[in-house]
Amino acid sequence: MRPEEYLADVEIHWCPGCGNFQIREALVRALAALELPPHRVVLVTGIGQAAKIVHYLRVNGFNGLHGRTIAAAAGLKMVRPDLVVIAESGDGDLYGEGGNHLIHNIRRNVDITVIVHDNRVYGLTKGQASPTAPPGYTTRAQPFGVLSRPFNPLALALALGAGFVAQAFSGDVERTSQIMAAAIRYRGFALVNVLHPCPSWNRVQTFAWYKERIRAVGEEHDPTDFAKAMRLALSDQEVIPVGILYAVEGPTFEERHPVIRRGPPALQPFPALEDLRSVLGEFL
């Protein structure tokens, strides 16, 4: 399939110049490169501008609650390991409201790909600081500037033992698409943090600001080197690494689970009458 065949023919409600357009382009290129039929893919999203992406694509979709994207995606994958499950939403959804689900599904190592649109602000609710906003960033809701330290998704994921940790920049569609394809192909929990400017609300981290700071991890980077990956994840705001920081495969939740290993639990028949009789026999 060609990338454009994954696009839905609908009116798009993103602002002109929004990085979401490039992220969508990168995703459809990745799906096309992996030759995934649209009906084998489920895009699980939450709420926010980024989460609307599910309506702008031609794949299966579960557009759930704000913050609960990864939880719904994990539940789906546990009973339908035959599907390609991608959880995609914004930084507020996945790092703020839904932080707990991020933490514990990294621990589970459910085979899902989590794509985070990280623009450091809340778009749909008009410009409040997100968990990744830098200290001092002022908004109508944060008149004294952000007082908290920014959330570092890459370091957190690495520290929790995530097997695939990557960062991308929406301005580089081709590289972003390659990273996404690698993340989807990866067996296990894959985190792709996609930095993107918000032309409507974020006046600091603009396209030009990112352009000056982005550093692609070079060919020489060894994605199995945990210490190096952690150093990159902890780099200061003046040098922003882009690429696959870490990629090491281990057994997934589904592979370790004795029930899921036998095939998609959701597609198994109702229990046989003799089996039911035997479980009820425990009470005799």
Partner 1 sequence: MELVIRLAGAAGQGIQSLGEILARAFFRSGLYLHAELSYHSRIRGGENAFTLRISDQPVFATRKNADLLVVLTEEMWQAYRGKLREGAWVVAEESLGIEGPRVLRLPAGKLAREKLKLPIAMGVILLGAAAKLLGLPEEKLAQALQEVFGEKAGPNLQALSLGYEHGSPPVWELPRPQFGPGERMLLTGGQAVGAGAIAAGCKFLAAYPMTPGTPVMEFLAQRSERFGIVVEQAEDEIAAINMALGAAYGGARAMVTTSGGGFALMVEGLSLAGMIETPVVIHLGQRPGPATGLPTRTSQENLLFALYAGHGEFPRFLCAPRDQESAFYCTIRAFELAEKYQVPGIILTDQFLVDSYAVVPPLDPQRIPVRSHVLSLEELEALPAYQRFALTPSGVSPRALPGLSPHLVLVDSDEHDEFGRITEDLEIRKAMVEKRLKKEKGLKEEVEGPVVYPDVQPSGKTVVLGWGSTFGALREAVEELNSRGGDFLLVHFQDLWPQKWEEIADFLRSARRLITVENNAWGQLGKLLAQETGILPGRHVARYDGRPFVPEELVEVLLREA
Give least dist CB 264 to partner 1, A: 8
> If binding is defined by CB under 8 A, does position 215 make contact with partner 1?
no
Evaluated on CA atoms 119, 229, 24, 96, the torsion sign reads negative
Give the integer Cα–Cα distance in Å for 28 and 51: 15
Q: Which of 7, 33, 38, 248 binds partner 1 (CB under 8 A)?
A: 38
Contact between 284 and partner 1 (CB under 8 A)?
yes
Tell the burial category of 279 from Cβ atoms under 10 Å away from its Cβ (0-12, 13-18, 19+). exposed
Q: Does 24 bind partner 1 (CB under 8 A)?
A: no
Q: How many residues bind partner 1 (CB under 8 A)?
A: 58
Nearer to partner 1, 122 or 169 (CB): 122
Dihedral angle computed from the Cα positions of residues 212, 216, 220 and 222, in that order, rounded to the nearest 10 degrees: 130
Q: Check residue 161 and report its DSSP letter.
A: T
Mask: binding to partner 1, 48-87, rule CB under 8 A, as x and -?
Answer: ----x-xx--xxxxxxxx-xx--xxxxxxxxxx-xx----
**Minimum distance from residue 156 beta carbon to partner 1 (Å):** 15
Nearest CB to partner 1, comparing residues 36 and 214: 36
- Residues facing 271 on adjacent strands: none
Give CA–CA dist 242/239, Å, rounded.
10
- Cα separation, 94 vs 103, whole angstroms: 10
Q: Is 273 in the site for partner 1 (CB under 8 A)?
A: yes
Amino acid at 7: L
Query: Under a CB-based contact definition with an 8 Å cutoff, are residues 45 and 94 in contact?
Result: no
Nearer to partner 1, 123 or 243 (CB): 123
What is the C-alpha to C-alpha distance for residues 204 and 134, in angstroms, rounded to an integer? 10
Q: Of residues 30, 36, 44, 192, which one binds partner 1 by CB under 8 A?
A: 44
> Which one among 47, 53, 114, 165 touches partner 1, defined by CB under 8 A?
47
Binding site for partner 1 (CB under 8 A): 8, 10, 37-40, 42, 44, 47, 52, 54-55, 58-65, 67-68, 71-80, 82-83, 100-101, 103-104, 257-260, 262, 264-268, 270-271, 273, 275-277, 279-280, 283-284
